[in-house]
Structure formats: C-alpha cells, structure tokens
Amino acid sequence: MNIEITQHQNQSIAEVTGPPIQNPQEALEILINCAYSGAEKIIIHADQLMPDFFDLKTGIAGEILQKVSTYQLRLAIVGDFSQYTSKSLQDFIFESNKIGRVSFVASVEEAKAKLCA
C-alpha cells in the first residue's frame, strides 16, 4: 500500500494507492498510517475496497467508517457507485455525503474539494 501526501488549500491529504484492502484491520492500519504521516483527510479509490464493503449486511463498511469517526479523520471514497443497486447502500451513500465525515465522490478533484470544504 502506498500513501502519497499532497497539499490542497494548505491542508494535507493522503491518497492511498496499491492493492485492494483485504479486511477492516488492514483498513485501520492504513488510516492510522495516514494520520501518523500528518494527514487527517484521506482518499481511497472504491476498487481498493473489498467487494463486501459495499454489501451493508456484512457490517464491514460500518466497521471501517466507525474507525474514521473514532480517529476524527475525514475520508473520501472515489468511484462510480451507480453500479450498486441496493437501496440501503444508496441511502447509506446519500446520508454519508450529507454528514460529510465520509464522502462518496466521482473523482479525486471532487474528493479534494469535499475534504477541504
């Protein structure tokens, strides 16, 4: 997993790249590494998340996003979420975007704008 720290509007943002995250513990380690590197705002691409993340019945999304909240981080997940037809997932994405701690966005540019707003 690679973590690249960049500056956007004088704020440090970590963009995570590399192989897919395999489990919630690995996600936690990545979040902590980003925070330790000085970035409380994090961008992860949707294809880096295990497919079960988008199946709310597994509880994986809730577990990972709870850790984002616990550590007072902000997270943007970049991808095309139109492929997911689950009403509960679409509602979850809508509510997350409304609250703003976790945002589901279409591009890295949109992620940076949301994280720095």
Torsion, Cα 10 30 112 65, to 10 degrees, reads -120
Decide if 80 contacts 45 (C-beta within 8 A).
no
Q: What is the pTM of this model?
A: 0.94
pLDDT tens, 21-54? Answer: 989 999 999 999 999 999 999 999 999 999 899 9
Which domains, and CATH codes, for the chain?
Answer: 2-116 (3.30.750)
- Determine the pLDDT at residue 1: 81
Q: Assess whether pLDDT exceeds 90 at residue 5.
A: yes
φ/ψ of residue 43, rounded to 5: -115, 125
Decide if 103 contacts 76 (C-beta within 8 A).
yes
